Structure 1
Amino acid sequence: MPDSPPPPDVAAALVEDVADIQAHVRALTTRLNQLTEAASLQPTSAAPSEEDQADAGCTEEEPSEPEWASPPFILLLDPPDYDDELRALAEWVQGVLVPGYLSEPSAEARWCHLWPEHLVAVARLHALWLAWQELTDPASCGNLGPSTWHRDHFDPCIRELRSPSGPFQGCTRGEHMIAHRQPTLVPSAWEVELGKGDDS
């Protein structure tokens, strides 16, 4: 007796998984071709012999840590790099995300027009933007990139941001609050120093 076909939802999930794998393989192939082409354009130099390496072993400095190959996580940047990255992120949020995706805020779907003042929102939106830049490029992700971006990045990010317990939980249409997300000063040494300042 032949095996029965899998249920429709399982079959659909398998088709989607296979399509995702194919898109990743295409992206990796494209990246490999780019790296191979870049390597072929660089001039080659003769590799040092083992004797040369042994002679230089005492004086050779340890290699420094590699530079970021792509924009790093925004919260790791210092000004003015942070300001530049935030400005670019704001252009995308205001030009793409807000008009295209965010409906009128409500108690169940919150949004704060001063979102750059909420670091949790900045971090999540920046990660969402980096994923958007990569997954909307058909050359690297094929035609399934946008679907993957919506499913794996946009939906969970916006769900967290706009939830009643998210970073905008204290913000209403006429009021903006960030203090509710700030930790209180716990160390007693800080409180003592603050107390001294009040007495003077």
Structure 2
Amino acid sequence: MADTGHRPEDLPPSLVPAALEEDVEDLKAQVRSLTAQLASLQEAFSSPAAVLPQQRETDDDRAWRYPPFILLLDTPDRDAELRVLAEWVEGVLVPGYLGEPSADARWCHRWVEHEDAVAHLHALWLAWQELTDPASCGYTGPSTWHRDHYRPCMNELRGPRGPFAGCTKGEHHIAHRLPGRVPSDWHLEP
């Protein structure tokens, strides 16, 4: 059917079916309603601090959207986060990415005892969660994770000056070199 440029309300009533008139009136009412809603929203957002009630973040929303960094967690939450991190490290990272440890690429199977290694691995895991989800980062996320997160993290952890530098491999025996406690006013012996 060709568009004649005529609007239904411009045509004689005998040419416009009654149902079409009702549809036109319904559409007009919807436009009026949407116009009123738009004006209401513009008024609500005219103040920079204004937030609609349904858009306020709850504590649950923040917890889901912003995972906590493991070093900032208290003991029960930290232990739970460490368990989940360990599942990823031992189930994905170690078997899928790490080769045999060597003098140039060390690894400690007791990595949870190295606080700085835990911090690095947790940050790597958080990045992995985000960058392996195509919904949040598209299909280039894994490449970005490898380039920007995995390689620098592994170079730091497994390098000659990394947290595993004092660990040796020998018949599954790991010897840890832990720094001694430096006397200071921050730590007083009981």
Q: Which interval holds the TM-score relative to the shorter structure?
A: 0.5 to 0.7
1:176 and 2:174 correspond? yes
1:88 and 2:84 correspond? yes
Return the alpha-carbon distance in structure 1 between the equivalents of residues 142 and 71 of structure 2. Answer: 26
What does 1:57-68 align with in structure 2 at a 5 Å threshold? 68=63
Question: Larger C-alpha radius of gyration, 1 or 2?
Answer: 2
**Matched-pair identity in %:** 65
Return the match for 2:93 from 90, 93, 97: 97
Amino acid at match of 2:129: Q
1:137 and 2:133 correspond? yes
Match of 2:110 in 1: 114
What does 1:65-76 align with in structure 2 at a 5 Å threshold? 68=63, 69-76=65-72
Return the alpha-carbon distance in structure 1 between the equivalents of residues 68 and 80 of structure 2. Answer: 13
Q: How many equivalent pairs are there?
A: 130
Amino acid at match of 1:108: D
Match of 2:22 in 1: none
**TM-score when normalising by structure 1:** 0.59
Match of 1:53 in 2: none
Return the alpha-carbon distance in structure 2 between the equivalents of residues 110 and 83 of structure 1. Answer: 25
- Conserved 8 A contact 1:117-1:178: no
**3-state DSSP of counterpart to 2:78:** helix
Residue 183 of structure 1 deviates from its aligned partner by: 5.0
Q: Deviations over 1:82-129 (max 9, x none)?
A: 011000000000111001110000000000000000000000000000
Return the match for 2:150 from 137, 151, 154: 154
What does 1:32-43 align with in structure 2 at a 5 Å threshold? none
Aligned-residue CA RMSD in angstroms? 2.5
1:185 and 2:182 correspond? yes
- Conserved 8 A contact 1:89-1:126: yes
Q: Deviations over 1:142-172 (max 9, x none)?
A: 1100000000000000010000110001101
- Conserved 8 A contact 1:73-1:126: yes
**TM-score when normalising by structure 2:** 0.62
Amino acid at match of 2:73: L
**3-state DSSP of counterpart to 2:75:** coil
Return the alpha-carbon distance in structure 1 between the equivalents of residues 186 and 83 of structure 2. Answer: 37
- Conserved 8 A contact 2:131-2:141: yes
- Conserved 8 A contact 2:167-2:177: no
Amino acid at match of 1:110: R
Return the alpha-carbon distance in structure 2 between the equivalents of residues 189 and 97 of structure 1. Answer: 37
- Conserved 8 A contact 1:112-1:171: yes
Amino acid at match of 1:187: S
Unaligned runs of 5+ in 2: 1-40, 45-60
